[in-house]
């Protein structure tokens, strides 16, 4: 998922920052000048973005020499050195800001994600991420949530069918939406996971009632309170994976996860 997309992200990010050249460095630093830099940690947290940084340096200048001292997912403290890079000074300065921007944001996401994952410790529950990402930075944010211990949900609109309330209403109801989704996959010869969102127990019962005729891979229980979430999980009885979404806070996260 991340390979070629990541390289394209780096290319566009460098194009945005460098344009037709780092004219300050070109004007003041001889082209053959060399240097060495180190990436120093200033706050405690979970490290993320090391492998992205390596690919940024490589795209800027494949002759740069990088020594990795801390890996993605490592717990870090102020004063830790994550990596060192040596080579042409102009190249190091060209890559520096993009590397820092990416690693700072990714590490912040990974750190917060890990704190939420820790709240679920010991429970048979996974923390999922969403499509609610920063435009054109999704690839790094999705990588960061995995580094923090979460699981990627769908990456984009193209890799899963997720039938939400809008789709249900436009399609004419739960059964109609599921029928259309299954028909579409057959007609286009696609093999995509089908997930459907339900807003209440009545809609859940409609989904469960289609079990014999329509394929469903996962049910999202949207904005259910704890009492109704417990009842929903009881009715599903393990027949489908369930996903709770909406209205869940750090304070209530474990209580929701304990519902099953």
164 tagged catalytic: yes
- CA–CA distances in Å: residue 102 to residues 74, 107, 109: 16, 8, 11
197 is catalytic: yes
Catalytic residue among 132, 191, 212, 227: 132
Which of 34, 162, 48 shows the shortest CA–CA distance to 89? 34
What 3-state class would DSSP assign to 214?
coil
How many Å apart are CA 83 and CA 39, to the nearest integer?
Answer: 6
Active-site residue, 180 included: no
Residue 101's alpha-carbon distances to 4, 14, 98, 160, 215, in angstroms, are 20, 12, 5, 30, 43
Measure CA 17 to chain center.
Answer: 24
Active-site hit among 154, 164, 180, 218: 164
CA distance 174 to 165: 9
Catalytic residue among 7, 96, 175, 222: 222
Please give the DSSP secondary-structure letter assigned to residue 34. E
239 in active site: no
Which is the catalytic residue, given 97, 190, 235, 239?
97
- 42 in active site: no
Placement of tokens 């830099």 in the chain: 37
SS3 call for 38: strand
Annotated catalytic residue, options 22, 129, 195, 197: 197
Q: Residue 47 and residue 223: Cα distance in Å, rounded?
A: 32
Residues 6+ apart with CB under 8 A from 131: 138, 153, 154, 155, 156, 157
Taking Cα atoms as reference points, which of 169, 171, 235 lies closest to residue 207?
Answer: 235
Backbone angles phi, psi at 220, to 5 degrees: -95, 125
Residues with a known catalytic role: 97, 132, 164, 197, 222
């Amino acid at each position: 998922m991340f390979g070629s997309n990541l390289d394209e992200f780096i290319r566009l990010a460098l194009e945005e920052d460098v344009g037709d050249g780092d004219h300050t460095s070109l004007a003041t630093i001889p082209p053959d000048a060399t240097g060495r830099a180190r990436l120093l940690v200033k706050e405690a947290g979970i490290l993320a973005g090391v492998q992205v940084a390596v690919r940024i340096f490589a795209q800027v200048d494949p002759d740069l020499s990088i020594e990795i001292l801390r890996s993605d997912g490592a717990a870090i403290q102020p004063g830790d050195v994550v990596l060192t890079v040596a080579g042409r000074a102009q190249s190091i300065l060209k890559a520096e800001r993009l590397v820092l921007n990416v690693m700072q944001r990714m590490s912040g996401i990974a750190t917060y994600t890990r704190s939420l994952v820790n709240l679920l410790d010991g429970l048979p529950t996974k923390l999922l991420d969403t499509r609610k990402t920063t435009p054109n930075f999704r690839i790094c944010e999705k990588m960061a949530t995995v580094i923090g211990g979460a699981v990627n949900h769908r990456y984009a609109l193209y890799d899963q069918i997720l039938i939400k309330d809008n789709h249900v209403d436009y399609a004419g109801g739960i059964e109609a939406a599921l029928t259309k989704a299954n028909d579409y996959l057959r007609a286009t010869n696609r093999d995509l996971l089908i997930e459907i969102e339900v807003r209440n127990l009545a809609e859940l019962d409609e989904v469960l009632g289609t079990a014999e005729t329509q394929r469903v891979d996962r049910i999202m229980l949207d904005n259910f309170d704890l009492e109704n979430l417990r009842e929903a999980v009881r009715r599903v009885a393990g027949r489908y994976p369930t996903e709770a979404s909406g209205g869940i806070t750090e304070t209530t996260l474990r209580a929701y996860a304990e519902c099953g």
